[in-house]
Amino acid sequence: MPLIAVGVNHRTAPVDVRERLSVAPAQMLETLEELRALDGIEGAAVLSTCNRVEAIVSAREDVIEPIVGWLTERAGTARSEIEKHVYILRHGDVLKHLFRVASGLDSMIVGEPQIGGQVRAAFLASRECGTLDSLLSQVFDQTMRVAKKVRTDTGIGEHAVSVPYAAVELAKKIFGDLHGLQVLLLGAGEMGELTAEHLSAFGLEQIFVANRSYDRAIELAERFHGQAVKFEGIEPYLATCDIVIASTAAPHFVVESEHVHRALATRKRRNLFLIDLCVPRNIEPAISEIDGAYLYNIDDLQHVADANRELRQTKAVEAEQIVDREVDAFRRRLIAQDAVPTIVELQGRLEDIRAAELEKCLRKIGPMNAEQRAAIEQLTTQMVNKILHYPILQLKEAEEPAERETLRKTIRKIFGLR
Amino acid sequence: MSPNLSLYAALALYAAGTIVALATLFTREKRPQHIALGTMIAGFVAHTVWIGTICVRTHHPPLTNLPEAAGFMAWVIFAIELALFIRYRVHAASFFVYPLVLMLLTVSAVVHEPFVKSPAAISRLFITHILLTTTGVAGLLIGLAFGGLAWAQDRALKSKQRGALWDWIPSLNVCKTVSYRALSIGFSIYTLGILAGILWSYRTSAELMDLRVKQVGAIVAWVLFAIVLQAYVNDTYRTRRTAIIGACAFVAIMVAILGIHHV
């Protein structure tokens, strides 16, 4: 049964087209039912993220025209407008595409981890709506397996490619588990806020916010369920906090070497991670020389992110190889599976002929001992197996569905199968 | 199964696992690391069989001569490494621990010494001395390995340059904690082992110790490990001085191990 994917993504369509086609979770059931109601469609799933909207279907025939028509209707635009942006994939290309998408290889930021969850959610929604047939179910399971394998074997999503995530990655390299740590956020700069937000997702114990404007500090602290502190009184917090994020507009150093020396003296073997996201810098660079203090400024973090981006590109090459191997293996499995009913029927038919003819022959020959009878049984069975060998092989190896269908019809005709 | 067969099987598997693990330093791929770990575990099973057959054959733990003690120490080191891997998923320790385990088991395979059957050698006190010393040394060596990782991680974070080990090393906190705990526990057990040895020596020869290579090496190692441990307590473990003392402690302990020829 043909597999077909029709859709648009961030490379083929601008955001105004994607947003018109996107499907909100609340509309998913209705959308899937509409798609499934198109003629010839057996199973259907819709993948809708901010970067792509795709209809993935298994169908009895080529149903591309109705799907494009359906997309046009959804977008509320001219068909020619949609046709400019849409891509159409068939059979093995659908598998490769899905494996790549779920592994993050087709994402705007290569290797980003969220897409795996989005693909899973899309298929689970289809399963819940009852629009997932057995073929799409298998494709879904295999897609998730391949995505997991790619991520485990290559580690493609392990390294951060943005400055705030690079800070989180470094914090994990220093502290391991971020659970229970305390963070001091100095200033209300956007990057600092974003970094604190990412860190807070890892179970921090407390975020202290200090700002020149105490009201703004209170406002920000409430957002993180943290505590506002007076900007002039930050020094005691250097001794208790594990991560310090500086993001103020101050034209001078806010944290100096002697502050850190005094703080570390009371910390007893606990490290201090300082993140300076400001220009001009707010944390004295000499602090990086102090044992137990790790200072990263905005350029350092950008270098980490850039190096990670390059690393992901290297890993992507390995990942593509894994995807190619998996597509090949899965296609073979599907083809073999598709041929099974015909093969079983063919074997049954020839076995019936063999058994009937053998019986007639044995009646003519007359009495014989068990050994002689076994020899004749073996001879006839081997002959049947030899005759079946090539037809079965051809059925299992025909890659194109059209070729496979022709072959199946021919074999059925030749051997007189129902 | 012949004891030698299981020993050589363990050796071959450890060698294969070590080579594959070291190769991942250059490829940075995870799959070979998993293969290396699997191979090492298979080697560990064969190693366990070897130790078991010696126990059955001699009716005492395999601790009475150099090949036995080196083999037992390798076994304990790998067992600790495996436990730490299960707890912390630390791949980087394999770059230090696997070669060490391979080296110690090679000593067991290459050095041939008869089984010691003297009553003194299989007395409870002697067995306690060797068991504690061996286990303590295994802990100390693991502590040094993780100390090395902590040092490498600290350098990488300070210099903002990723080394070959960056992806394999766990967080600085994990390296430091494991190293400190392994050193402190290993040191305590090792100290008890040395005291048991002194007591055994006094009982058998009326002397606290003679100044042969193994005794001198063991005492020097004890002093050096005490200094390393003190560096952890004072939080000065990152210094070059501590790294050099740690390296010297490793050499001293190796001298002490290789100095075990006969009781």
Q: What's the ipTM?
A: 0.77
Q: What is the pLDDT of residues A196-240, one digit of tens each?
A: 888 888 888 899 999 988 888 898 888 888 899 998 889 899 999
Determine contact, residues B169/B154, Cβ cutoff 8 Å.
no
Check B172 against A173: CB less than 8 A apart: yes
Q: For residue B211, is pLDDT > 70?
A: no
Q: For residue A175, which residues of chain B lie inside 8 Å, CB to CB?
A: 171-173
pLDDT band at A333 (very low <50, low <70, confident <90, very high): confident
CATH architecture observed for domain A163-301? 3-Layer(aba) Sandwich (3.40)
Query: Who among B30, B171, B235 is closest to A174 (CB)?
Result: B171
Are A111 and A25 contacting, i.e. CB atoms less than 8 angstroms apart?
Answer: no
- Per-residue HEC secondary structure of A331-375 comes to HHHHHHHHHHHHHHHHHHHHHHHHHHHHHHHHHHHCCCCHHHHHH
Rounded Cα gap, residues B150 and B230, in angstroms: 16
* Contact (CB<8Å) B172/A172: no
- State residue A2's pLDDT score: 80
Residues in chain A with CB shorter than 8 Å from the CB of B30 are 152-155
Contacts of B108 (CB under 8 A, 6+ apart): B7, B66, B67, B68, B70, B71, B74
Task: Using an 8 Å CB-CB cutoff, list chain A residues near B175.
Answer: none
Do A147 and A103 form a contact (C-beta atoms < 8 A)? yes
The residue among A202, A264, A271 with the most chain B CBs within 10 A of its CB, best to mutate, is A271
Q: Which of A55, A66, A62 is nearest to A98 (CA)?
A: A55
Per-residue confidence (pLDDT) for residue B2, from 0 to 100: 56
Q: How far is B32 from chain A (nearest CA, A)?
A: 9
- Residue B77, both tokens: 């080191």
Question: For B216-230, what is the mean pLDDT?
Answer: 91
Residue ranges matching CATH 3.30.460.30 in chain A: 3-157
* CB-closest option in B30, B162, B173 to A152: B30
Cα A188 from chain centre: 34
Chain B residues close to A318, C-beta within 8 Å: 29
DSSP secondary structure letters along A191-239: HHHHHHHHHHTT--SEEEEEESSHHHHHHHHHHTT-EEEEGGG-HHHHH
Tell me: the pLDDT tens digits for B40-86? 999 999 999 999 988 888 777 777 777 888 888 899 999 988 988 88
Give the pairing type, strands A3-9 and A87-90.
antiparallel
B92 DSSP assignment: T
Domain A3-157 carries which CATH code? 3.30.460.30
Please say whether the dihedral angle defined by the alpha carbons of residues B76, B82, B85 and B88, taken in this order, is positive or negative. negative
pLDDT for the residue B121: 60
Q: pTM for the whole thing? A: 0.70
The minimum CA-CA distance between B15 and chain A, rounded to whole Å, is 23
Indicate if the pLDDT at residue A395 is higher than 80.
yes
Q: Is there a contact between B157 and A174 if contact means CB atoms under 8 Å apart?
A: yes
Q: Backbone phi, then psi, for B151, in 5-degree steps?
A: -65, -45
Q: What is the mean pLDDT of chain B?
A: 85
Q: B173 to chain A nearest CA, in Å?
A: 5
Q: Give catalytic residue positions of A.
A: 50
Reported as half-sphere exposure (CB side, CA atoms, 13 A), residue B202 has a value of: 8
- pLDDT averaged over chain A? 89
Q: Could you report the per-residue pLDDT of A77-110, keeping only the tens digit for each?
A: 888 888 999 999 988 899 999 999 999 999 888 8
Q: Is the pLDDT of residue B199 over 70?
A: yes
Instruction: Report CB contact under 8 Å: A174, B29.
Output: no
pLDDT value of residue A54? 94
In A, what residues contact B, Cβ < 8 A?
152-155, 158, 170, 172-177, 268-269, 271, 288, 291-292, 294, 296, 300, 303-304, 307, 318
Residue B262: band (very low, low, confident or very high) from pLDDT cuts 50, 70, 90: very low
What's the sign of the alpha-carbon dihedral A73, A77, A79, A82? negative
Distance to chain B for A223, nearest Cα, Å: 29
Burial of B259 (0-12, 13-18, 19+ CB in 10 A): middle
Res. B247: pLDDT tops 50:
yes
Confidence check: pLDDT of B263 > 70: no
